[in-house]
Structure 1
Amino acid sequence: MTDWTDSELDSVGGAEELQISSRRADGTLRPYVPIWVVRTGDDIVVRSAYGANNPWYRRAVASGAGRIRAGGVEKDVTFGRAEPDAHPGIDAAYHAKYDRYGPAIVNTVVGEQAVSSTLRLLPAD
């Protein structure tokens, strides 16, 4: 596993949306799903707006690996957990980037209920 480059962090973290795909058992990719993405420090993080039961999220957790496309970057990734103390910063990043959409939408990806559906994206290359 490698780290994100500064350029990748800027590009992916600055993208309005990220397309995410998980791998099937045979290694093929599922269809991409568009989701919001934030950068916190040297981490790229996504959350399921509809909680841990959202199908894309369940498939990502089950497979543990996939591929993302955002900001001109396309990369294989593994899906990891964010550190417990990272969640206030993740919430702040979502607020800073997406509050213009209003609280009804942003509140689906911030707060205590969003912690269980948080994935840290780790480059697999």
Structure 2
Amino acid sequence: MTTTTTWTDDELDSIGHAEELEIASLRRDGNLSSQRTIWVVRLGDDIYVRSVNGPRSDWYRSTRVRREGRIQAGGVSGDVAFVDADEEINEAVDAAYRTKYGHYAASIIQAITSPEASSTTMQLVPRA
């Protein structure tokens, strides 16, 4: 898998400010799965996503196959690698979700910051 080194500042800003992200994973046959709409957060120069339903979610399970896919958010679209995040980043990702989506019901925020959801935290890394 070939990856570029970083997102551009414009891409980080656009994706980071987007309310939602469309995500599709690459299947074994090389075709993309159906797009799913999920939440996305930015931490510094990195972009993170996670499954509110934890590892049992269909879209999350499909990312495990080839660990590659395509995203669209804030006018940015591109191919990405799905990189499992280190557990150490989860508290910061939780805080980013609380800050960005705190205007939603507390139960929704609790779900996206639960240990089950945190276990699915992935960094989106641009692919060439």
Look up the match of 1:45: 48
* Per-residue deviation, 1:28: 1.1
Q: Report how many residues are paired.
A: 125
Structure 1: distance between partners of 2:88 and 2:61 = 23
Gaps of 5+ in 1: none
Q: Is residue 20 of structure 1 aligned with residue 20 of structure 2?
A: no
The alignment partner of 2:53 has SS state of: coil
Of 92, 95, 101, which aligns to 1:92?
95
- Alignment pair present for 1:6 and 2:27: no
Whole-angstrom CA distance in 2 between matches of 1:104 and 1:41: 27
Return the alpha-carbon distance in structure 2 between the equivalents of residues 6 and 41 of structure 1.
Answer: 10
Residue 102 of structure 1 pairs with residue 105 of structure 2? yes
Mean Cα deviation higher: 82-91 or 70-79 = 82-91
- What is the identity percentage for the equivalent residue pairs of Structure 1 and Structure 2? 47
SS of 1:12's partner is: helix
Structure 2 unaligned spans of 5+: none
The residue type equivalent to 1:17 in the other structure is E
Deviates more, 1:70-79 or 1:113-122: 113-122
Q: Tell me how large the CA RMSD over aligned residues is.
A: 1.0
- 2:85 is paired with a residue whose SS is coil
Moved over 3 A (4+): none
Aligned-residue offset at 1:82: 1.3
CA contact (8 A) 2:84 2:120 kept: no
Report the TM-score, using the length of structure 2 for normalisation.
Answer: 0.93
Work out the CA distance in 2 between the residues paired with 1:52 and 1:113.
7
